[in-house]
Amino acid sequence: MTLTAPAPGREIAHWVETAPRRSGEHGLSIFTHFFLIGWSIITGLPILWVLMSSVKSDNEIFVDSWKPPAMLRFDNYARAWTDANFSQYFFNSFLIVACAVVIVMVLGSMMSYGLARYDFPGKTVLNYAFIGAMAVPIFLAVVPLFGVMKQLGVLNTYHGMIAVYVAYAMPFTVFFLSGFFATLPKEISEASFIDGAGHFRTFFYVMVPMARPGIISIGIFNALGMWNQYLLPLFLNNEDPNKYVVTQGLAKMAADAGYASDFSGLFAGLIIGMAPVLILYLLFQKQIQSGMTAGALK
């Protein structure tokens, strides 16, 4: 058996045809890397500056804001946590966000599974209602929502804010998870029914473990969005300062810093408020990425 080398002309033609594509891909890759580096600098420098300012004195912040601190002042964090009542703000946010995320994930996953796997009258209308709810600006809902909550007597209460956060996150949760559940193989759920499992057991013991990447991803997105929410608490939870969430507490600290000249404590409070978000993303970074791509890969 003899091997014949390809003709030199064919190799040259192939190289000429693929050269523009290779050069275009290389140029796009360079542009992408420069863009990501620039974006990382734009987003990372403010965080680095706030972190550095949180361990400085007020005089060091104003004299040379980019100079490293002469001495690390961790007492700024203790002062922000206790004197500025930030511990209470942190507890309020944690309680409201934790309860709201659990409720919205349980109800949203069940609703998404029903929309993705069952046919019933009004399914299309219900699906479009959730999609349309995502298009409603939150500014338009604040005033009527204030009136409804006032009539129900749930203004400035924990359970009122939890209910609002659940309603705020439900449309996107259902939209995301219904598409995710639709990609899961139907043969597994049918085999579960054949083995004698009911609808609820099939959902909780078979489908939920399979949809875990998507559930974790949307759960983290909901937690981040609720933790950083400011507009809804500003209008619906503004009477009792002891029930302020983290974002309201930071706004109050920023207003008080102008009179008390405690900007170092303000920056320490900013770091405390950002820490749960950053830690949550770093811990579940792989789960978020796998959850966002699992539906496409299936």
| Domain membership flag for residue 159 | yes
212 and 89 both lie in a single domain: yes
State the pLDDT at residue 297.
46
25 and 172 both lie in a single domain: no
Beta-strand (E) ranges in 8-151?
none
Task: For the beta carbon of residue 116, count every other beta carbon within 10 angstroms.
Answer: 20
- Distances in whole angstroms, Cα of residue 226 to Cα of each of 95, 139, 146, 172, 292: 11, 16, 18, 13, 20
State the pLDDT at residue 296.
46
| Domain membership flag for residue 12 | yes
Give the position of tokens 């600098």: 41
DSSP state for residue 242 in the 8-state scheme: G
109 and 255 both lie in a single domain: yes
How many Å apart are CA 97 and CA 74, to the nearest integer? 28
For the whole model, what pTM was predicted?
A: 0.81
Q: Which residue type sits at 249?
A: G
Phi, psi of 185, rounded to the nearest 5 degrees = -65, 135
| Domain membership flag for residue 2 | no
171 and 45 both lie in a single domain: no
42 and 153 both lie in a single domain: no
18 and 129 both lie in a single domain: no
Question: pLDDT tens per residue, the chain (298 residues)?
Answer: 444 545 555 555 554 455 455 555 565 678 788 888 888 888 888 888 999 999 998 888 888 778 888 888 889 898 888 877 888 999 999 999 999 999 999 999 999 999 988 888 888 899 889 888 888 888 888 889 999 999 999 999 999 999 999 999 999 999 989 988 888 888 888 888 888 888 888 888 889 888 888 888 899 889 989 999 999 999 999 888 889 999 999 888 888 766 667 788 889 988 998 888 888 888 877 766 665 555 444 4
22 and 91 both lie in a single domain: no
Three-state DSSP state, 121 = coil
How many Å apart are CA 272 and CA 145, to the nearest integer? 30
| Domain membership flag for residue 277 | yes
**Terminal alpha carbon distance of the chain:** 44
| Domain membership flag for residue 32 | yes
20 and 123 both lie in a single domain: no
24 and 171 both lie in a single domain: no
| CATH number of the domain enclosing 123 | 1.10.3720.10
- Distances in whole angstroms, Cα of residue 66 to Cα of each of 80, 135, 247: 22, 42, 26
231 and 287 both lie in a single domain: yes
State the pLDDT at residue 190.
83
| Domain membership flag for residue 127 | yes
State the residue range of the domain holding 17.
8-53
20 and 112 both lie in a single domain: no
| Domain membership flag for residue 202 | yes
Q: Are the C-beta atoms of 54 and 270 separated by less than 8 Å?
A: yes
47 and 82 both lie in a single domain: no
| Domain membership flag for residue 66 | no
Q: Which of 175, 170, 134, 180 is nearest to 292 (CA)?
A: 180
When divided into structural domains, the chain yields a total of 2
